[in-house]
Amino acid sequence: MFNKILRMLLTSLDHTNAIACGPDDCGPHDEIGKGEFLFPKTLKLEEDTYRTKDGRACFDFHFKDVSGHYEIYVLSSPLSRYCAENPQRAFCTLPDGQINLIDLNCTMAIRTYNQARKVAVVWAEKAWQKLLQTQI
């Protein structure tokens, strides 16, 4: 079990592996359950990987505690290429990689780590659906 967790930790640190994949083959992210993060929220890690509910994409996030509120940054995602070509589109990050909360109609500060993870999930799922719609 320890070796499995260590291997997943090491592969999650390689942020060049933003993936979109089949429902049963996400390469090193296969062990992440659909609709789940790689690590449990109790660890309060600054960086974590989320796999979409359909299991076809993974998003790497950085959660930054800034004076009593959290900022969420996308380290890698399947949207990276799309947003490079269409930077003004919904669900593209701000220039520094931060999630644009306006895409979620969110105007309140994110006060806790758990709230930040929930916002990241909602953003990832909506962004993934948006990307799928643009590719149809």
Per-residue pLDDT tens digits for 9-64: 334 333 333 445 544 445 556 678 899 999 999 999 999 999 999 999 999 999 99
Distance separating alpha carbons of residues 19 and 37, to the nearest angstrom: 15
Residues sharing a CB contact under 8 Å with residue 26, sequence separation 6 or more, in sequence order: 19, 32, 51, 55, 56, 58
Contact indicator for 34, 105 with CB cutoff of 8 Å: no
Section 81-107 average pLDDT = 78
Q: How confident is the model at residue 104 (pLDDT cuts 50, 70, 90)?
A: confident
How many percent of the chain have pLDDT more than 70? 74
Distances (CA, A) of 122 to 10, 53, 67, 74: 26, 11, 23, 13
